[in-house]
Amino acid sequence: MEHCTDISGFATAAALEPVTHEAVDDELVAAVRSGDEEAFALLFERHRRSVTRLAYRFFYHREQVEDIVQESFANAYFALGAYRGGQERSFIAWLSRITVRACYDALRRSRRAENVMSELNQEEEGLLAEKLRDVGKGSDIECAAISRDLANKLLQRLEPDDRIVLTLLSVGDLSVAETAELTGWSVSKVKMRAHRARRSLRRVLHRFV
Amino acid sequence: MMLRRKKLSGDEGFDQLQREVLLAVKVSEEEIEAVATSPDLFDGLRLRIAGERRQRSGGKVLADDWRAADRAGLNFIRALLGPSRPPHWILTAAAVLLLVAVALLLWLPKQPRESREIAQPVIPQTVPSRPLDTDPRVLPASPEKVLDAVPLSSKQQRRIYRRDQPSDNHADEIATDFLPLTFMADSTAPESGHLVRVTIPRSALLAMGLPMNAERAGELVRADVFIGDDGLARAIRFIQ
């Protein structure tokens, strides 16, 4: 059984990656624990795409994504002692949780840093307003002019908690339970956060109408 | 109804836009592949792990050092106390003794200062040896300067007197200049002497050759008497 498919957000990743088994991951983890550095390189090789994909959900710039990937694997490396193996959860689920935590921390840091680049310029605001007017006419957003950059700038205006929940639910196509597992929050908190996050995003969009 | 439909369509528009905004952050598999397969990614990770490991081992070494120091301190205390655990009353007595010692340490430094302050006016002071000036009226008021006098104007003498006054509880005292009690040649002048604070009846002033008001003969006066090493009173000043 491929445990990557447990997290629906990584379903496409499973198709791209070679066949993975929990047992293989657990064996590699055991090898790393006994001091085999090459085993960790193999673990990295097996899961780097999944982690990169997850990091790209929250960050737009390649440098940021690379930083998150490295931070996640480094944190996982030093936390391998706490990994319980396939009995509780798969390695990729455990690693995803670490990655989400790293993304959450990075979002909080970047929010404190008051990124000026997240401000929309007049051209972008006009573009967004135009798309808002045309949205009812069935225009295809993927083909429209709302770029990923624009979406990213809009999402940067959300609280890190809101963004984490919205991204995992809407972009990663995860269920509430899966989101709760990844974030470490309770199901009710995820639901409440999701409701607030949608309201916040709507408020942000209203500003440009 | 029309308004509600309009509102609904507006809400739907926003919902759709929300979904589209959220989906817009998705990146293509090619981009993910480009980042994930970057050779620098794993090199950077290895460097990060090495740095983190160094940092952690440094912190661990420091923590180990502290732990070792703690253990050494505990072993020392255990060695002092001996193999068997002492009874409670010994520990209590030790604690009481320690408290008393701390209290004494805090109290003792103050005591000598107070006694010094009290004793200072009555303890004779040694004056550096120097021949007495032929004119004792120019002697400065300060005892240390009794034999160090050079002819100065009265204004200069007052200035020196004010400057040399102690800043403690004797600051409110007024002292006259030293008046000579004997007339001696420079060669027989004392090498050094003592200043003694005395309280004498006014009648004693007559014996020193000083004028006295007969109506106030019974009153007491305070004075500093400069006594040379030969035991003779050389000069006197009055204190108010």
Say if residue A120's pLDDT is above 50.
Answer: yes
DSSP letter assigned to residue A167: I
| Residue A189 burial class via C-beta count within 10 angstroms: exposed 0-12, middle 13-18, buried 19 and up | middle
Is pLDDT larger for residue B92 or for residue B60?
B92
Query: What pLDDT sits at residue A2?
Result: 39
Mean pLDDT score across all residues of chain B: 67
Strand locations in chain B, DSSP E?
Answer: 125-127, 179-180, 193-201, 220-228, 233-239
Confidence of residue B132 (pLDDT cuts 50, 70, 90): very low
Q: Report whether A18 contacts A177 (CB < 8 A).
A: no
CB contact burial A125-157 (16+ within 10 A = b; e otherwise): eebbeebbeebeeebebeeeebeeebbbbbbbb
Say if residue A207's pLDDT is above 80.
Answer: no
Query: What pLDDT sits at residue A117?
Result: 45
Among A76-90, A129-143, B214-228, the minimum mean pLDDT is found in A129-143
B48 with A74: Cβ contact below 8 A:
yes
From the candidates A16, A37, A56, which should be mutated to test the interface with B, based on the most B CB atoms within 10 A?
A: A56
Query: What pLDDT sits at residue A172?
Result: 79
DSSP letter assigned to residue A158: S
In the structure encoding, which two tokens stand for residue A197, read together? 């996050």
Query: What pLDDT sits at residue A116?
Result: 44
Q: Report whether A58 contacts A163 (CB < 8 A).
A: yes
Q: Residue B170: helix, strand or coil by DSSP? A: helix
Say if residue A35's pLDDT is above 70.
Answer: yes
Encode pLDDT of A53-81 as tens digits: 999 888 878 888 999 999 999 999 999 98
Query: What pLDDT sits at residue B152?
Result: 46
Q: Which residues partner with B228 through β-bridges? A: B193
**Would an 8 Å CB–CB cutoff place A112 in contact with chain B?**
no
Spatial distance between the Cα atoms of B96 and A120, rounded to a whole number of angstroms: 73
- Angstroms from A144 CA to nearest CA on chain B: 10
Confidence of residue B57 (pLDDT cuts 50, 70, 90): confident
Say if residue B122's pLDDT is above 60.
Answer: no
According to the 3-state scheme, what is the secondary structure of A117-153? HHCCCHHHHHHHHHHHHHHHHCCCCCCCCCCHHHHHH
From the candidates A10, A16, A69, which should be mutated to test the interface with B, based on the most B CB atoms within 10 A?
A: A69
Spatial distance between the Cα atoms of A8 and B151, rounded to a whole number of angstroms: 108
Q: Compare CB distances from B49 to A74, A148, A202 and report the shortest one's residue.
A: A74
Distance from the Cα of residue A190 to its chain's centroid:
15
Query: What pLDDT sits at residue A191?
Result: 93
B23 with A132: Cβ contact below 8 A:
no
**Would an 8 Å CB–CB cutoff place B5 in contact with chain A?**
no
Say if residue A85's pLDDT is above 70.
Answer: yes
A206 with B41: Cβ contact below 8 A:
no
Encode pLDDT of A169-195 as tens digits: 888 788 999 999 889 999 999 999 999
Count of other CB atoms within 10 angstroms of residue B153 = 9
Is pLDDT larger for residue A10 or for residue A190?
A190
Sequence letter at residue B239: I
Is pLDDT larger for residue B31 or for residue B23?
B31
Say if residue A49's pLDDT is above 90.
Answer: yes
Spatial distance between the Cα atoms of B85 and B79, rounded to a whole number of angstroms: 11
Among B11-20, B23-32, B35-44, the minimum mean pLDDT is found in B11-20
Sequence letter at residue A59: F
Residues 67-86 in A contacting B (C-alpha not used; CB under 8 Å): 69-71, 73-74, 77-78
Distance from the Cα of residue A164 to its chain's centroid:
7
* The dihedral sign for the CA sequence A158, A161, A164, A169: negative
Mean pLDDT score across all residues of chain A: 77
Is pLDDT larger for residue A29 or for residue A204?
A29
Paired sense of beta strands B125-127 and B179-180, if any? unpaired
Residues 53-72 in B contacting A (C-alpha not used; CB under 8 Å): 56
Confidence of residue B154 (pLDDT cuts 50, 70, 90): low
A152 with B25: Cβ contact below 8 A:
yes
* The dihedral sign for the CA sequence B147, B150, B151, B153: negative
Which chain A positions have a beta carbon within 8 Å of B31's beta carbon?
56
Q: Residue A159: helix, strand or coil by DSSP? A: coil
Query: What pLDDT sits at residue A99?
Result: 94
Q: Report whether A51 contacts A69 (CB < 8 A).
A: yes
Interface predicted TM-score of the whole assembly (ipTM), two decimals: 0.70
Query: What pLDDT sits at residue B172?
Result: 64
Confidence of residue A122 (pLDDT cuts 50, 70, 90): low
- Angstroms from B93 CA to nearest CA on chain A: 50
Say if residue B8's pLDDT is above 50.
Answer: no
